[in-house]
Each structure stands twice: as structure tokens, then as C-alpha cells.
Chain A
Amino acid sequence: MIYVENLRKEFKKTIKEPGVLGSFKSLFHPKTEKIVAVNDISFNVPEGEILGFIGPNGAGKSTVIKMLTGILTPTSGKCTINGRNPNENRKSYVKEIGVVFGQRTQLWWDLPLRETYAVLKEIYEVPDDKYHKRMAFLNEILDLEKFITSPVRTLSLGQRMRADIAASLLHSPKVLFLDEPTIGLDVVVKDNIRNAVDYINKQEKTTVILTTHDLADIELLAKRIVMIDKGSNVFDGTISELKSKYGQIRELHFDTDTENVKDILSYKEHFDFNDEDITVETEGSSVKVRFNSEAVPVSDMLSYTLGKINIKDISVKDADIEEIIRRLYKQGV
């Protein structure tokens, strides 16, 4: 469905030299610097899949989405969606896709929401009967009724996001691009949006690419993730693959009445851990030890700890996906 091959985007940035003289100079001899925002990225998304597209701030996610939706022209590389190139025949291509940028609305500021959809109906040439059915449906899954007569500028963030998502779905697109659709929303609205995306994906086999910084979105919606950093691919696979590949992190939780556990245990010196392979956090009498079980087996950690101090209650946990991703982002693989 979606094929991305060595996609690349460079931006030119003019460097402003300081001072009046500098800005005068740059008027005639602008110094430019090349920023590689997306550095030869490749991935595929099969039809009907929800892909979680993640990466730290500035990784290039939005830039990729903008190329896939035809907003930006790639510097080089190729993307094919539904067998088509977004930069050719733009008008008929965009009829098949829906786009939401959580950071900014695509709706008309002063138009009441109902009129907004009336305009979009004309833009996407949705026939009357289909339009009424679709509005009733979107109303149901996104709960628009309460603010459908309000101008967009008066909507709260959560209402506006639901309105934007409904707008992107009005013409029943085959592919949906969601760039941070849950940014800044409360739990209830997040749930509402996740359910709506899940429902649309299941009911209509809509292919979805979703970027987010809330990993719960990914865990609840996506089977597969593509992670990028500094414009390059870092990981491409299912969540369970991610866990087995990077999930050697374990967490040891215990309660103790011994004081100064950190000094007494000194795991790092004893086992010769690398810095990023061990962290110890204490809070009152409870202690949380996070370590790489590839470096030191769980059994060794347990017997060493039990032999050193007085322990009331102990448990070992798998690290959750959030922890794995935090480590990946920090390392900047």
C-alpha cells in the first residue's frame, strides 16, 4: 500500500551573520547551510495496517508525512501510496488520503463547524446522501454534536482535534495520516480518538500512519512501529520484536530497612556495568534497580542483592515499551 524508498529531504537554511553589517552582507552573499531533515528513509506499510511512526523531537517525522501527503517535494528518493506518486496528479491523489496535523488546524477559523463540513463536502465532491450518512457516523464516533454550530476559533483543543479528525475522514479516505493527533489532550478525549481510529481501521480497512509521543497510542493501536532518529531509520518491526531485541532491561523492585543501600550495593563496581546498563532509584524504603540482563543475569543480581542486605519484599519486572524507547532515544543509535 505504502512504499517508501530512500526518501530524502534537505532544507537550505540561510545563516544570519550578527549585526547590521552582517545582515547587509547576507543580503548579497547569503551563506546557506544544508539541513538533512530526512536521510534516505525506507519502509513499507501493508494495506489496512496501523503503523506507529515514532522518534524524538526533530527526528523528521512530520517532514516524512509532508512528503507522503504531497505538501513537500522530496529532494530524492521515492514514495508510492496506493500505486501513486503524491507529487504527480496531486488533486486526484489527495482525494484518497486524509491528513491531520495535531499542531495546527486545517479548518477555517471563523466558520461554524457545520459550514466547515459543508465546504469540505464541495471540495471532496461527496454526494448528498453519502454526506448525511457520513456526518451521522462521524458524529457518533467523535461526538461532535455539542459544538457543531460553534465557530472553529471558539473550540477547545480537544473539540478542535475531534473536528479536524472528522474533517479528514469525511471523504472516506483509503489512507489516513495522523501527525500527533493526541497532543495536549486529556485521557477521555485521547480514548475517544483512539477508539475512533481503531474503529475506522477495522471497519473500513483504512491504512493509518500515526506519529505520536504518547506511547500508549502506539501500544493500543499499532502492531508495527517504525522508529527514526536524526532523519534515519532506527527500528522497523512489531512491538514484540522491539521488546525481544532491546528488551533485555529488567527492573528489580524491593523494600528494605537497610540505610544507604546505594553505597552498600554498589552494583556498578561489583559487576562492572557500563553506565547506561544500570540505574538505582530509592524512595524511602523502596528501591528500584534497572539493569541490562544481558550484561548480568537476573539470578546473579538477585542472589547478590539478597546476600548483601535485609530485604522485605522483592520482585522482577520486564521493562515496558516506554522504558525501551526512552533508552533508544537517549542513546541516539
Chain B
Amino acid sequence: MRQIKRMLRMHKIFVAQELKRMMEYKGDFIVGIIGFLFAQCTNMLFLWIIFRQIPSLMGWTLNQVVFIYGFSLIPKGIDHLLFDNLWAIGHWTVRKGDFDKYLTRPVNTLFHVMVERLQIDALGELIMGIALICITLPSVAIQWSLLKILLIIAVIPFATLIYTGIKIATAAIAFWTKRSGNITFMFYMVNDFAKYPVSIYNNAVRFIITYIIPFAFTAYYPAEYILTGNNPLFNIGLTIVISLILMVIGIFVWNKGIRAYESAGS
């Protein structure tokens, strides 16, 4: 607990710094966000064109599909905003020996890496996600209940940790191989599938994004529960279980990796 408090105080300093930097390079920041929103709009256009041909996609309406898409951006955006520094581990921190500094400090190395940066660019995803949810919310006819609201609030951090756990485990491979950024990237490519209802895919793809690289639990399954109220045990319960399993695997690989870390000459 004390460690978490310290980490949060540290985090505050880094966040303040990041915000200062954002103000300093406003232009770059704004262009980045606009670029991201533009790319997302082309996706929306694509959906809209499909739905002009067909009234519904495997039982989902355009608004529902857009809602799922919007929801998928929330856990992804939170992970991107808070824990982006893990990318650096797999790309260069380990390879260049810069990981040394984390090992000479009296805090958990993983915590230290995770709180060290705030990736403001991720606000693009969060803004887009919230906007899409707000736009479609009136027309998707959700049955609200207190339990549902509580479950939704609870499931978002766990869905986020699915991303984070996978990122920790794949980043930690670099402790052995020196470089693993591309492995993380490969895994993250799969998450594009998870933005749409899994029922549109064939069995193989469905199996992979459910049980192998379970990104479907970051978006489609929780969103399905929100929209239909179906299968809370599978849609919400399994999301939580899978995210915990992935975090445990991630932390395990990370701790093993630290012992194999070889630093760099000079």
C-alpha cells in the first residue's frame, strides 16, 4: 500500500511534466489527435457503406456495431495512456542496457516502468471511444440496472489489464532476446479483430481471439453484455478471470526475465 502511494506521488510528477510538454508542443499534439480521428472516421465510413447493403450484420445493427467499436477504444486507450512505457522496454531499454537504472532503485521494477510515462496521444482513442458510445447510446436500447452499471464499471479496468498483461509478458521476452518490440506489435495487431462482433468471423479466428490471444474480452464480450444483458458469467466473469491470468503470466515472465537480464557492455 505504501509503495502504491509512493508510486502515485511519483506518477503525479511525471504527469505534470507530460502536460507541460504537451502545452509546449501543442501543434504536434493536435496534429497527432486529428490524424488519429481521421483514421477512425475512415473505419466508420467503411461500416456505414457495409450497412447500406445489409440491414444487419449477424443480428447486429449499425448502431450496435459502432457501440462495440467505441467501447473497444476505452480499455485500449487507458492502457495506451498509462502504460505505454512498456513498449520502450522491448524496443530499446533492455537492448541498450538502460534497464540498469530500474534495478538500482528500491521500488518494484515493473511499477517503476509503468508509472514513468503518460502517453497523451492516447486521448485520441479515449475521446473517439466516448464520442461513439454517446452517439449510439440513445439508439441501442440498453436495459439498465444497478448491477449492470456496477459490472460495467468493474470490467473496464480488467479489460484494460488484458492489454497490459500481454504487453508485460511480451516486453519481458526482451530480457532474453534483447529485443521484443515486434512481438508485442504482432500481438497488438490481433486486437483489430476484437473491435467487431466475433460472430462475423469463422471458427478459427473466433477461437484465437477468444482463447489464444483473448482480445475479444477487451471489447466484444463485455460490450455484448452491456447491449443484451446475456451471459454475464461468460462475458464479464471470464473477462476478469482472463485478465488476472494474463497479469499473473506477465508478472511471472517479467520476474524471471530480470534474472536473465544481461545489461550491455560499456
Contact = CB atoms under 8 A, between A and B. Distances in A.
Interface of A: 11, 62, 66, 69-73, 87, 90-92, 94-95, 97, 99, 101, 103-104, 106, 108, 110-111, 115, 118-119, 122-125
Interface string B236-266: 0000000000000000000000011111011
A122 B100 contact: no
B103 A62 contact: no
Interface in B114-151: 116
Contacts of B10: 119, 122-123
Given A11-B262, A71-B263, A125-B6, A110 B104 contact: no
Interface of B: 6, 9-10, 13-14, 17, 21, 97-98, 100-101, 103-108, 112, 116, 259-263, 265-266
10 contacts: A62-B266, A69-B104, A71-B103, A87-B259, A101-B100, A104-B98, A104-B100, A111-B14, A122-B6, A123-B107
A94 B263 contact: no
Nearest to A62: B266
Nearest to B96: A104
Contact of A110 (B21, B103, B108, B261): B21
A145 B89 CA distance: 33
Given A115-B13, A119-B13, A91 B261 contact: no
Q: Which 6 A-B pairs have the closest CB atoms?
A: A106-B101, A95-B106, A91-B106, A99-B104, A71-B103, A122-B10
Contacts of A119: 10, 13-14
A217 B13 CA distance: 37
Contact of B106 (A71, A111, A124): A124
A125 B265 CA distance: 31
Contacts of A71: 100, 103-104, 261, 263
Contacts of A101: 100
Contacts of B14: 111, 119
Nearest to B107: A123
A116 B21 CA distance: 16
A97 B266 CA distance: 21
Nearest to A92: B106
B106 A118 contact: no
A71 B105 CA distance: 10
Contacts of B13: 111, 115, 118-119, 122
A173 to B, nearest CB: 10
Contact of A106 (B17, B100, B107, B262): B100
B261 A104 contact: no
Contacts of A95: 106
Contacts of A91: 106-108
A185 to B, nearest CB: 17
B106 A66 contact: no
B3 to A, nearest CB: 9
A62 B103 CA distance: 15
Contacts of B6: 122-123, 125
Contacts of B262: 11, 72
A69 B99 CA distance: 13
Nearest to B12: A122
Contacts of B266: 62, 103
Contact of B105 (A11, A87, A94, A104): A94
Contacts of B265: 62
A123 B105 contact: yes
A126 to B, nearest CB: 11
A95 B6 CA distance: 15
Contacts of B105: 94, 123-124
